[in-house]
Amino acid sequence: MNHTPTPAPSDAAPCIFLVDDEPLMLHAARLILSRLGYRIRCFSNPVEALSALSEGVDHPALVVSDVDMPEMNGFELFHRARASHAHLPFLFVTGSPAHLRDRDPHGELGVDLLRKPFTTDGLLRAVSALTAPPGS
């Protein structure tokens, strides 16, 4: 069987911040996206993600965030992140899409939505629509 190894992400590869309080969701998304060459930073809560964003070490091309989390929900993360990074793309991942429709009924936030549970192809399509693929 011919099995080509997956290239390691380079420092020039787009960075994606993954924010979810569910370790399995973080792990699955990290595996899928890192295999395509994206650099991934995982955060189990939005406070950690905001801290990393303010440090400025990594400049994410995209934030993929759960909506329902204990300390701070995805909407608050979005608003706080956008206060200092006005054009930072966000992809909300949720099993309860009604939350997004309730808070943004007219799509004015400019946030995309991916329903949980997501498929590999669904995640890849959503991320590709919001950021340039690695190596481009």
How do the domains of the chain map onto residue ranges?
15-129
Residue from 41, 51, 45 nearest 20 by CA: 45
Query: What pTM value is reported for the model?
Result: 0.85
Specify the higher pLDDT residue, 6 or 91.
91
- Per-chain mean pLDDT for the chain: 86
Phi and psi torsions of 17, nearest 5° = -90, 125
| Alpha-carbon span 126 to 101, nearest angstrom | 18
Residue from 3, 4, 33, 2 nearest 18 by CA: 33
**Structure confidence by residue, pLDDT tens digits, 75-87:** 999 999 999 999 9
Residue 96 has a pLDDT of: 80
**Burial class, 3, CB count within 10 angstroms (exposed 0-12 / middle 13-18 / buried 19+):** exposed
Residue 100 has a pLDDT of: 61
Domain range 15-129, CATH class: alpha beta
Residue 40 has a pLDDT of: 97
